[in-house]
Chains A and B, each alone.
Chain A
């Protein structure tokens, strides 16, 4: 009886080791699918695209809360993901999922920014990676001149369109 119990224990232990090892072998294989990791994941890409905006916040060129706008074609889930990735990538800049702010950051990976109808914005800055910074037009010209927005282009990304928009 005792022998049986010990044999059963040994069999279970062998099964445990095999299940654990095989599970991890598959896990390693899954992790190696992206080897040699030259194409970064979505979060890393987003993080790189918004690096310039984050740097502008760190340099004190932007402060406070900025609004958020993205591709109108995105369905709810994709839009929500885009917002959250933007908040993560732009931190410590606080991004609110709304267009009711003076400054609005636009995430338009297509490179074609589309602004909601009935709102009057001016493009302040086009950052590398199809990231745009807008300001509501209600502000006076004097006010806009007081907000210097100079966003450096990170070396690893080609600047799509650097400089201040013509509307300014």
Chain B
């Protein structure tokens, strides 16, 4: 039954993504699959919280209701998706299929209503398959590490049982008194943190009809996010034809031991990193193509089409107009899912709210710079509309359930001012951040920077700017913290770096050009 509790959100997430991402090649399918579980868990956790908030008492009744609703939605959704596919069957083509030198990738694509749609290579090139084996081996080792550590510490890390799984117990077992868990009487356990992870765990218990295996649900939720994230990175790069780069990025993401350890620890940092990555993945130029593009950036008018067997086409760069930076975030198909994922980041942790503000600001600025203020306002308006339903749930929780945040509640304005006027706090925080960054991933971070520099992909882009801006916000929170600063830095900084790690890798590999070498 716990599996049903995972299957329903996975199918719902997949169905929803079908409306935004209709690429049916290997990369597109992998991206959809890797995003589905997290999206579904996020949305169903909102539903579970709302059901609790509006008076639901019996979690088993919720599970039955959600099962029936999910079944009906899936029936309707798959009917609509099928109908849509039948009406818009594309005519596929492939030009220069024998060119395997890697210099100019074979050009392939689809003819749809309105024009010709070009796609990057659909499958990993031959030489990238060695990397795929390495990726699989590292993933298997990570899975073994996950299982062994789960068995030795089934309740997760300190923070997991003290905060996330504790609230899950209140949500699931608390009956009409579930709000007791958010009382400030429960000292120092962050009762103001949003409920995505907690509600997901409680929801899985409801599906399991028992709390007899209390730790399994938490571990399953953690596993979904931990192992989806490398596949999201891989498939985002693969969508742009960069299988090699995607595989290396995936290995880097899961290869950082701290990342895996936080994942098996059942804290919310890895789920947050998933939603951060998923938000920005939709903004990568040329990677995600859909029939819902309002300005189809990658479409060439049908009359300008290429005949099969034609001599080597012009370099793909000049044809894939979607590579242009101004296309970032313009199309409606990217704005909507990005908005939903961004709001889910805010529903995961307080840091997600900081990320949401940073992301919205950066994307607005990029749009303004590249496409003008009107287009920027339009895109960000759509982004806000997409984020609104989940954002309302967050606001409801913050206003009606959550107590005041510990950092805010513990100090007055005068003390806060004094913290900001103490230079030693800045130096202590700065040096701690540099130190933790230097040892992050036990050497993987400098290797990652070196690899992407050699691939000539590193330059300023929205993902990197979001990472830097979010890190600056975290820096200021440390300056303001009423807790003992060294203790606060030592106990939380690593987790903050884990949150930003996959987005950082996306930012490093963010590149508008088409693949030139199999390892890049």
A: interface residue count bin: 35 or more
Interface status of A144 (Cβ within 8 A of chain B): no
User: Is the Cβ of B451 less than 8 Å from the Cβ of A16?
Assistant: yes
Q: Knowing A9-B519, A13-B248, A31-B145, say if A92 contacts B134 (CB, 8 Å).
A: no
Q: Identify which of B149, B257, B517 contacts A6 (C-beta below 8 A).
A: B517
Write the chain A residue with the least CB distance to B175.
A92
- Taken residue by residue from 37 to 65, chain A's Cβ proximity to chain B (1 for < 8 Å, 0 otherwise) reads as 10001011001000000100010000101
User: Which chain A residues border B442 with CB–CB below 8 Å?
Assistant: 19, 23
Q: Knowing A9-B519, A31-B148, A43-B155, say if A87 contacts B451 (CB, 8 Å).
A: no
User: Which chain A residues border B443 with CB–CB below 8 Å?
Assistant: 19
Binding site for B on A (CB under 8 A): 5-6, 8-10, 12-13, 15-17, 19-21, 23-28, 30-35, 37, 41, 43-44, 47, 54, 58, 63, 65, 83-85, 87-88, 91-92, 94-97
- Taken residue by residue from 480 to 520, chain B's Cβ proximity to chain A (1 for < 8 Å, 0 otherwise) reads as 00000000000000000000000000000000000001011
Q: How far is the CA of A33 from the CA of B144 in the complex (A)?
A: 13
Q: How far is the CA of A126 from the CA of B178 in the complex (A)?
A: 27
Q: How far is the CA of A43 from the CA of B150 in the complex (A)?
A: 13
Distance in angstroms from B29 CB to nearest chain A CB is 25
- Pairs A-B, 10 closest by C-beta atoms: A20-B255, A31-B148, A24-B141, A91-B169, A92-B174, A34-B152, A27-B145, A43-B155, A31-B149, A94-B180
Q: How far is the CA of A23 from the CA of B147 in the complex (A)?
A: 16
Q: Identify which of A34, A58, A65, A84 contacts B151 (C-beta below 8 A).
A: A34
User: Is the Cβ of A24 less than 8 Å from the Cβ of B257?
Assistant: yes
Write the chain B residue with the least CB distance to A14.
B134
Interface status of B185 (Cβ within 8 A of chain A): yes
A-facing residues in B257-290 (Cβ within 8 Å):
257, 260-261
Write the chain A residue with the least CB distance to B167.
A91
A-B CB contacts (within 8 Å), total count: 144
Q: Knowing A31-B148, A41-B152, A94-B185, say if A24 contacts B260 (CB, 8 Å).
A: yes
User: Is the Cβ of A32 less than 8 Å from the Cβ of B155?
Assistant: no
Q: How far is the CA of A8 from the CA of B257 in the complex (A)?
A: 24
Distance in angstroms from B186 CB to nearest chain A CB is 6
Interface status of B181 (Cβ within 8 A of chain A): yes
Distance in angstroms from B277 CB to nearest chain A CB is 18
User: Which chain A residues border B185 with CB–CB below 8 Å?
Assistant: 65, 94, 96
Distance in angstroms from B264 CB to nearest chain A CB is 9
Known: A20-B444, A27-B149. 18 other contacts (CB 8 A): A9-B455, A9-B517, A12-B454, A13-B451, A16-B251, A16-B444, A19-B255, A19-B443, A19-B444, A21-B255, A28-B141, A41-B153, A47-B155, A65-B185, A87-B166, A88-B161, A91-B174, A94-B185
Interface status of B170 (Cβ within 8 A of chain A): yes
Q: How far is the CA of A96 from the CA of B187 in the complex (A)?
A: 8
A and B contact pairs by CB, cutoff 8 A, 16 listed: A12-B451, A13-B451, A16-B444, A20-B251, A20-B444, A24-B145, A27-B141, A31-B144, A41-B154, A47-B214, A58-B173, A88-B155, A88-B165, A91-B166, A92-B180, A94-B181
User: Which chain B residues border A31 with CB–CB below 8 Å?
Assistant: 144-145, 147-149, 151-152
Interface status of B177 (Cβ within 8 A of chain A): yes
Q: Knowing A27-B257, A91-B173, say if A12 contacts B152 (CB, 8 Å).
A: no
User: Which chain A residues border B214 with CB–CB below 8 Å?
Assistant: 47
Interface status of B183 (Cβ within 8 A of chain A): yes
